[in-house]
């Protein structure tokens, strides 16, 4: 059975049997909260995600809590769950007496970080990444906490798009997101994203496949257009509310629904699509939503450059649904 996404696989030049880049389904949620406010919900998302991948052989081989990557053994699961648990000590860093602790956190740039990956064994397509912003009494402007989960496209093909969509909505509903998205993406276990020089040709050809892996300083902006587009209450209000947004969306495959907590979800089609500019497949529903949300989409950073890309190509990719 064919599916509307390409199979994209790159292997290591040194070890041709080891996969380093592949296509996945990724969920990214932006959370305008400190870890103390959402620790319980993030732990619940973590356990729900683990249940969704149970039964799959070797989805993860290592983990990191913000330092060195460590092989994942039984004691690692305890450390991961401890890291996701509510923090001990003062609510804000300004009130913390342990200056060494504050200094370590400031240098690291985050309060808590958890990363599960499978790089040593080759990219499996599964991934869990959580980055909690520093808990200052006055938060750094536009800084958000970030949660990212991924599944290989084989999971989507086996379980079906409706099953996965239901799971993604269940996970997003557990958290007070300001915005978020889910859809096809290149595998990337951390905020650095995939090795961009490896995916240039595919990224410029398939507009529905996400290249970046989240923004630490997103604020009220929306991070692009995807299969599933989660709008928090403020993001929905910026569109004039759900009925005003509904009136602007004409594509027959677009579904708009309310989310718990006053947000909304815009789904673009029954399953995620990559599109294919070489075949004239420009994803018109994605383009329509991009133009509707244009004023609130994160602008392309000035002078954006990516290794292996021509100077004008990163901006061209960034605005692929607008120009």
pTM: 0.96
Q: What band does 101 get if pLDDT is binned at 50, 70 and 90?
A: confident
Within 8 A by CB and 6+ apart from 185, the residues are 23, 24, 25, 26, 150, 209, 210, 211, 213
pLDDT in tens, 171-222: 999 999 999 999 999 987 666 788 899 999 999 999 999 999 899 999 999 9
Q: What band does 295 get if pLDDT is binned at 50, 70 and 90?
A: very high
Whether pLDDT at 1 is above 70: no
Q: What band does 145 get if pLDDT is binned at 50, 70 and 90?
A: very high
Give mean pLDDT, residues 66-91: 91
- DSSP-derived 3-state class of residue 115: strand
DSSP state of 120: T
Q: What band does 58 get if pLDDT is binned at 50, 70 and 90?
A: low
Whether pLDDT at 121 is above 80: no
79 CB-side CA count, 13 A: 18
Q: What are the residue ranges spanned by the domains of the chain?
A: 17-318
Q: Which long-range contacts (CB under 8 A, 24 or more apart) does 273-278 make?
A: 273/4, 273/5, 273/184, 273/208, 273/227, 274/4, 274/5, 274/6, 274/184, 274/206, 274/207, 274/208, 274/209, 275/206, 275/207, 275/208, 276/6, 276/205, 276/206, 277/204, 277/205, 277/206, 277/207, 278/205
Give mean pLDDT, residues 92-118: 89
Considering the chain, what is the average pLDDT of its residues?
93
Q: Are 136 and 144 in contact (CB under 8 A)?
A: no
Q: Are 238 and 247 in contact (CB under 8 A)?
A: no
């Amino acid at each position: 059975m064919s599916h509307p996404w390409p199979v994209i696989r790159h292997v290591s030049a040194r070890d041709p049997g080891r996969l380093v880049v592949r296509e996945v389904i990724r969920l990214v949620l932006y959370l305008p909260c400190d870890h103390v406010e959402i620790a319980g919900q993030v732990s619940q998302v973590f356990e729900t995600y683990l249940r969704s991948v149970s039964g799959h052989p070797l989805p993860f081989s290592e983990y990191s809590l913000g330092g060195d990557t460590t092989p994942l053994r039984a004691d690692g699961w305890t450390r991961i769950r401890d890291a996701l648990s509510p923090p001990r000590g003062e609510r804000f860093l300004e009130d913390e007496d342990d200056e060494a602790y504050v200094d370590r956190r400031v240098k690291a740039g985050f309060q808590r970080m958890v990363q599960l990956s499978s790089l040593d064994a080759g990219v499996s397509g599964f991934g869990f990444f959580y980055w909690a912003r520093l808990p200052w009494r006055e938060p750094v402007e536009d800084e958000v906490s970030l949660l990212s989960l991924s599944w290989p496209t084989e999971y989507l093909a086996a379980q079906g798009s409706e099953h996965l969509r239901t799971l993604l909505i269940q996970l997003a509903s557990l958290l007070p997101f300001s915005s978020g998205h889910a859809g096809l993406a290149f595998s990337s276990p951390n905020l650095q994203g995939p090795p961009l020089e490896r995916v240039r040709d595919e990224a410029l050809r398939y507009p529905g496949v996400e290249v970046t892996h989240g923004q630490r300083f997103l604020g009220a902006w929306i991070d692009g257009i995807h299969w599933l587009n989660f709008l928090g209450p403020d993001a929905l209000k910026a569109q004039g509310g759900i009925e005003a947004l509904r009136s602007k969306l004409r594509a027959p495959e677009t579904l708009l629904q309310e989310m718990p907590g006053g947000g909304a979800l815009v789904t673009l089609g029954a399953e995620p699509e990559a599109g294919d500019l070489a075949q004239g497949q420009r994803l018109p529903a994605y383009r329509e939503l991009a133009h509707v949300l244009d004023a609130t989409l994160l602008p392309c950073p000035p002078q954006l450059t990516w290794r292996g890309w021509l100077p004008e190509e990163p901006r061209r990719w960034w605005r692929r649904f607008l120009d």
